Structures are given as structure tokens and as C-alpha cells.
């Protein structure tokens, strides 16, 4: 019985350690993605943000956030002076 425990316990501890490392890494990646949701606004002719809002992301991606998902005006982040300056990215 003691010999069996001496052989099994280290293997069980190693498996639990590896599993914990993978779970922790997965949780960290998920929290980064969900924390980046931003509201994007469309620019009017005067360069000010309008009340039309779109769900976007501030995480860089190959696609810009647009009103019509793949076409239409680009959505921007609004600053304190109600100016649309920084373009946002499409939310995944």
C-alpha cells in the first residue's frame, strides 16, 4: 500500500499542477477580451460625435468598427470635448 501511494501521489500532484496552470491562463485571456468593449460613435459633418452608437472594441484587429458591421461610416471613440478622434475596431 505504501509503495503504491509513493508512486501515485507524485503523478496526481503533477497532473493537478499542470491543469491549474492551463485553467489560470485561460481565465486571464478571457478577462482581457471582455474588458475591452467600447461604445463607438459616428462622426457628423462638423467632426463631432453623433448620438448613433455602435458596440466596438479598443483591441487592435484587422477590421475597423463600422455602423453596418462591414460597411458604412467608421465608429470612433469620443473624447471630453465630444470629438471623434480615435477609430475603434470591430468587436469579436
* pLDDT given at position 28: 59
Quote the CA–CA distance of 10 and 46 in Å, as a whole number.
68
Q: What is the pLDDT of residues 8-35, one digit of tens each?
A: 878 777 777 787 777 776 665 554 555 4
**3-class DSSP state of 10:** helix
* pLDDT the model gives residue 5: 73
Tens of pLDDT along 31-70?
455 547 888 899 888 878 888 888 898 888 899 999 887 8
Q: Are 75 and 89 in contact (CB under 8 A)?
A: no
Give the residue from 44, 38, 65, 40 showing the smallest Cα distance to 53. 40
Q: Output the CA angle 31-32-37, nearest 5 degrees.
A: 100
Amino acid at each position: 500500500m505504501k509503495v503504491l501511494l509513493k508512486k501515485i501521489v507524485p503523478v496526481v500532484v503533477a497532473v493537478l499542477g499542470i491543469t491549474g496552470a492551463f485553467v489560470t491562463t485561460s481565465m486571464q485571456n478571457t478577462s482581457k477580451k471582455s474588458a475591452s468593449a467600447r461604445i463607438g460613435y459616428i462622426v457628423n459633418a462638423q467632426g463631432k460625435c453623433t448620438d448613433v452608437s455602435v458596440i466596438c472594441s479598443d483591441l487592435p484587429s484587422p477590421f475597423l468598427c463600422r455602423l453596418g458591421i462591414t460597411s458604412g461610416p467608421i465608429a470612433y471613440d469620443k473624447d471630453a470635448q465630444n470629438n471623434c478622434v480615435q477609430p475603434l475596431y470591430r468587436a469579436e
